[in-house]
Amino acid sequence: MGVHLLKWSFLLMTITMIVHTFIVFRGTTPSVGNKVADSLAQVRCTRLREKFISMRESEKDTKSLMEDLSALMSCPHKINITQQERYRVELRSCCNATGDLILTRENTQKGQKIKYETNRKLSKVVDKSIFNMLPKSTAWRNETRFKRCAVVGNGGILRNSSCGAEIDRADIIIRLNLAPINNSRDVGTRTSLITVNPSQIRIGYPNLEKQPQPLAERVSAYGDAPILIPAFAFTFCTDISFKVHKALHVVRPQQKVVFFNPDYLFQLFQYWKTRGLQEIRLTSGLMLASVAMELCDDVHLYGFWPFAVDLLQQPVSHHYYDNVGPSRRMHAMPKEFLQLLKIHSQGALNIHLAQCQ
Ligand SMILES: *[C@@H]1O[C@H](CO)[C@@H](O)[C@H](O)[C@H]1NC(C)=O
Ligand SMILES: *[C@@H]1O[C@H](CO)[C@@H](O)[C@H](O)[C@H]1NC(C)=O
Ligand SMILES: *[C@@H]1O[C@H](CO)[C@@H](O)[C@H](O)[C@H]1NC(C)=O
Ligand SMILES: *[C@@H]1O[C@H](CO)[C@@H](O)[C@H](O)[C@H]1NC(C)=O
Ligand SMILES: *[C@@H]1O[C@H](CO)[C@@H](O)[C@H](O)[C@H]1NC(C)=O
């Protein structure tokens, strides 16, 4: 009984003190109160960033991860130009998206062997018809730096995000894997570059040679944005990619189909491998985020989200447009996402997970 009473009076005392402090700060010196709160928040944000910079996979359970992520998203984003430049220099010297992201008539010769990205023993000789499919040079050769770039992932977290207007404000908007843009409030309307996964074509457009219209209609949603396809990732990709090129060349000549340079993707794979990413192949999301980090001053990622629950731990669909996808292991924190959070916390790019204003 006595112990109980002691506990209660202690609790009461603590509450009284807190309330008092609050009243003092609010009543007499509001600016001091705000300053204290501000510096506490700053310390908390610095700690959080440090935590994400050194975090290991499997260190966290989903609940505390979501709490930390919510807190991180409410911290002001700090850009660190030194870090941005470090990544830019590293990526340019390993991989060089500036000159080598896509195969062009500048970086490819007739008769040259193109080595496959995932099996360097296999190659394809560049004959006349392949050479003629290549553009003269990279479209951005004369403008090697873009200001603000948005890479839009397809995660269900984009639903009801209201991020569309913010995405559309970027100078360059990169979308992935033929993502539909039928919800402009959340995902915007503009596109500068769209990637295609050859499997999507194999499954969705098996009769492309005879019926190019359905694909032409689908890609017309991106205006004249070039279509980027990994024609030399696996051997099965090559024929499909050439078919896409040929089909669209006839019905939509204004919209170019360009091929990822497999050397670029191979080098990029090595780059991330030395930083601890051991996987069979990088996701298109990380590929294009890397491209943006090399070519853009200010990189913003939207819709990158590998979990089945959102920040409030409510179920979230796999994509913002459907719920079809590989099953996800809930508790292993996907390594790529961890890597991106690290770069976010270092101040070299900006991941958006919360609703946009
Ligand atoms: C930016 O990052 C570098 C390298 O980690 C660090 O030394 C520097 O203090 C950071 N700058 C700011 C303004 O945070
Ligand atoms: C990247 O490619 C461009 C264009 O081909 C070239 O001028 C530049 O020297 C290359 N940069 C590096 C670091 O290899
Ligand atoms: C890019 O620069 C080269 C050389 O300065 C020039 O010949 C070419 O027309 C330019 N291309 C574009 C698309 O502006
Ligand atoms: C999005 O908002 C609409 C309307 O407010 C609501 O009906 C719907 O359940 C929300 N969807 C998600 C995934 O939160
Ligand atoms: C967007 O397209 C997907 C499939 O392409 C469809 O399931 C979804 O209902 C569409 N959403 C809206 C808002 O029209």
CATH code of the domain containing 216: 3.90.1480.20
Same domain, 162 and 192: yes
The answer, yes or no, to whether residue 25 has pLDDT greater than 60, is: no
In a domain, residue 70? The reply is no
Same domain, 34 and 150: no
User: Mean pLDDT throughout 67-96?
Assistant: 96
Same domain, 8 and 108: no
Residue 34's pLDDT is: 85
The answer, yes or no, to whether residue 131 has pLDDT greater than 70, is: yes
- Pick the most confident of 3-12, 29-38, 188-197: 188-197
Ligand 5 atom having least distance to the Cα of 183: 13
Cα separation values, 18 from 55, 224, 229, 268, 341, Å: 34, 61, 60, 53, 35
Same domain, 30 and 121: no
Please give the mean pLDDT across all residues of the chain. 89
Pocket around ligand 4 at a 6 A CB cut-off: 159-160
Residue 18's pLDDT is: 46
Shortest-distance ligand to the CA of residue 139: 3
pLDDT digit string, tens, across residues 271-296 = 999 998 877 889 999 999 999 999 99
In a domain, residue 357? The reply is no
Catalytic, 77? Answer: no
The answer, yes or no, to whether residue 15 has pLDDT greater than 60, is: no
Residue 215's pLDDT is: 98
Residue 323's pLDDT is: 83
- Taking the CB of residue 199, how many other CB atoms lie within 10 A of it? 13
Residue 115's pLDDT is: 98
Residue 44's pLDDT is: 94
Cross-strand pairs, 146: 296
The answer, yes or no, to whether residue 233 has pLDDT greater than 60, is: yes
In a domain, residue 61? The reply is no
Same domain, 255 and 146: yes
83 lines ligand 1 (CB under 6 A): yes
Q: Per-residue b/e over 254-273, b at no fewer than 16 CB within 10 Å?
A: ebbbbbbbbbbbbbbbebbe
In a domain, residue 69? The reply is no
Q: Which residues contact 147 (CB under 8 A, 6 or more apart)?
A: 171, 296, 297, 298
Same domain, 151 and 110: yes
- Of 59, 75, 71, which Cα lies nearest the Cα of 312? 71
The C-alpha atoms of residue 64 and residue 71 are separated, in whole angstroms, by: 11
- Of 182, 144, 146, which Cα lies nearest the Cα of 164? 182
The answer, yes or no, to whether residue 94 has pLDDT greater than 70, is: yes
User: Mean pLDDT throughout 107-136?
Assistant: 97
Residue 30's pLDDT is: 58
142 lines ligand 3 (CB under 6 A): yes
Same domain, 49 and 153: no
Residue 237's pLDDT is: 97
- The half-sphere exposure of 312 on its side-chain side, counting CA atoms within 13 A, is 5
Same domain, 256 and 134: yes
Residue 145's pLDDT is: 79
The C-alpha atoms of residue 110 and residue 142 are separated, in whole angstroms, by: 24
Shortest-distance ligand to the CA of residue 185: 5
User: Mean pLDDT throughout 92-111?
Assistant: 96
- Could you say which of 20, 331, 344, 352 is catalytic? 331
- Quick one: pLDDT band at residue 208, thresholds 50, 70, 90? very high
Same domain, 38 and 156: no
Same domain, 130 and 20: no
In a domain, residue 63? The reply is no
In a domain, residue 84? The reply is yes
**C-alpha 159 – ligand 4 centre gap (Å):** 8
Residue 50's pLDDT is: 96
- Quick one: pLDDT band at residue 32, thresholds 50, 70, 90? confident
In a domain, residue 30? The reply is yes
State the total domains in the chain.
2
- Quick one: pLDDT band at residue 346, thresholds 50, 70, 90? very high
Same domain, 92 and 49: no
**pTM of the shown model:** 0.87
Same domain, 41 and 83: no
Could you write out the three-class secondary structure of the chain? CHHHHHHHHHHHHHHHHHHHHHHHHHHCCHHHHHHHHHHHHHHHHHHHHHHHHHCCCCCCCHHHHHHHHHHHHHCCCCCCHHHHHHHHHHHHHHCCHHHHCECCCCCCCCCCEEECCCCCCCEEECCHHHHHHCCCCCCCCCCCCEEEEEEECCEHHHCCCCCHHHHHCCCEEEECCCCCCCCHHHHCCCCCEEECCHHHHHHHCCCCCCCCHHHHHHHHCCCCCCEEECCCCCHHHHHHHHHHHHHHHHHCCCCCEEEECHHHHHHHHHHHHCCCCCCCCCCHHHHHHHHHHHHEEEEEEECCCCCCECCCCCECCCECCCCCCCCCCCCCCCHHHHHHHHHHHHCCCEEECCCCC
In a domain, residue 68? The reply is no
Residue 150's pLDDT is: 98
CB-based contact 52:341 (threshold 8 Å)? yes
Higher pLDDT, 8 or 47: 47
Provide the domain limits for residue 26.
Answer: 2-54
The answer, yes or no, to whether residue 58 has pLDDT greater than 70, is: no
Residue 60's pLDDT is: 66
Residue 5's pLDDT is: 46
Residue 17's pLDDT is: 46
How many Å is the Cα radius of gyration of the chain? Answer: 24
Higher pLDDT, 348 or 25: 348
The answer, yes or no, to whether residue 357 has pLDDT greater than 60, is: yes
